[in-house]
Amino acid sequence: MKRQYTHLTHKDFGPLFDEHSESLILGSFPSVKSREQRFYYGHPQNRFWKIIAAIYGEPVPENDDIEAKKAMILAHHLALWDVIDECDITGSSDSSIRNAKVTDLRLILDHSSVTRIFVNGATAFRLYEKYSAGMTGISAVQLPSSSPANAARSLDRLTSEWKTLILHS
């Protein structure tokens, strides 16, 4: 069966940051659920929000409470965006990404205090290394994927690994 590709852009929602953001967490490209919600990590099975909440001792925001998610990210001087701005993709499958056009990360880097970049998962890391590292001049740290597809890692293990990398890198 042939994959059905859709050409998509990241136009429905932009980066989340402010001038106090010090660390940028990059994904690859928004999932179907994130695109529907018009915000990052919208799939209820994605463990991103549980991990961030646990690292900082915060309550986990409700899945549809975008304002609480934004507030938590900004309160801890974080920023969110994706490596890819535009691509052909099948559903939410990172492995299906083709014809990728990179996000211009200078928008965040020129208007924030970001000095550290983390990437959520192997695909985002590979894409960052291929398309963005040369432009930013910042070496990224790869975080284990928070995706439900990364079932090999428990939530506790992911949280521990992320906490070590984010707070001690």
Q: CATH number of the domain that 94 lies in?
A: 3.40.470.10
Chain CA centroid to CA 155, Å:
17
Q: Which residues contact 91 (CB under 8 A, 6 or more apart)?
A: 32
Asked if residue 1 has pLDDT above 60, the reply is: no
Q: Please state the separation of Cα 44 from the chain's center in Å.
A: 15
The percent of residues in the chain predicted with pLDDT above 90, rounded, is 70
Task: Look at residue 143 and tell me if it is in a domain.
Answer: yes
Instruction: Look at residue 1 and tell me if it is in a domain.
Output: no
pLDDT of amino acid 12: 81
Q: How many separate domains does the chain show?
A: 1
**pLDDT given for residue 151 in this prediction:** 86
Q: Which two tokens stand for residue 12?
A: 């429905």
Question: 145 lies in a domain?
Answer: yes
Beta bridge partner(s), residue 79: 24
Give the residue numbers spanning the domain of 147.
6-168
pTM over 0.75, yes/no: yes
Higher pLDDT, 50 or 3: 50
DSSP per-residue codes, the chain? -----EEEESTTS--B--TT--EEEEESS--HHHHHHTSSS-STT--HHHHHHHHHT-PPPPTT-HHHHHHHHHHTTEEEEESEEEEEESTT-GGG-EEEEE--THHHHTSS---EEEEESHHHHHHHHHHTHHHH---EEEEPP-STT-TTS-HHHHHHHHHHHHHH-
Q: What pLDDT is recorded for position 2? A: 62
Between 35 and 38, the higher pLDDT residue: 38
